[in-house]
Amino acid sequence: MTERARLAAVIGWPVHQSVSPVMHNFWLNQHGMKGAYVALPVAPENFGRSVAILPLMGFAGASVTVPHKEAAFALAALTDEDARATGAVNTLVFEGERIRGLNTDVGGFASTLAENLGEDAARAGPAAVLGAGGAARAIVQALLRAGAPEIRLINRTKSRAEYLASQTKSGCVTAVAWGDWKPAFADARLLINATSLGMTGKSKLDISLDFLPRNAAVADIVYNPLETELLAAAKARGHRTMDGLGMLMHQAVPAFAAWFGVTPKVTPELRAELERALSG
């Protein structure tokens, strides 16, 4: 009997910039598995109907990216602890007629932060987080767990940041108005862009780093381009930086394991493969 190929996908709008297919297909080839991982551009109004069709087509699950993470949470019948804590799902697993929703972004960000900036990076001082969407929710959760003493949320719609701050039920998370950079960055030791601004095909991230202390590290979850304008500006000022590729790789490990039954490894070879894809 021929082994049935396993299928998975990444769903986003847009999604053409994603290198997730390169990553998951690299792992499939590495483990000698029959299967494929594809990119599916799905508009927000079609998200629910599109997901419902995938199990019928033989898909084991899907990654969920901007702007669908909160919609994916609403769709899932079962969710893990991190999904419930953030109200966002980035991984869907199809189990018969049920959909299980996972948030692997929390662990993915925590792993890459410790790996690139050190185990104490979150505890070093105040963290400023740009954004209030699904990715920001995961990053706030990861920072709280890692012992961040203060988190400032800066979002273009301040009410969304205020809502997220209230949902954390932690007195150390506050909202700051977009553009009010002096109080946002005062004594900060970590700045994280958790928006899609600066991504290929998206609007520019227009912020000033003038008030950011020189000893602060700067991270960007955007990985296409690999060196965003934010990271380039931060490097020019002498800040330590962290690009978005580490989070992408680490969050994908439990997702691949859930769909394909094998736990892959994040390796320099995988990163090199993704860097080649981004530069091509």
- Across 63-75, b (16+ Cβ under 10 Å) vs e yields bbbbbbbbbbbeb
Contact 3, 32 (CB under 8 A): no
Tell me the HSE value of 86 on the side-chain side, using a 13 A CA sphere.
Answer: 34
Instruction: Give strand pairing partners of 242.
Output: 219
Residue 52 near residue 86, CB atoms below 8 Å: no
Q: Where are the alpha helices (DSSP H) in the chain?
A: 20-30, 47-53, 69-75, 81-86, 105-117, 134-145, 158-167, 181-185, 229-236, 245-260, 268-279
Positions marked catalytic: 69
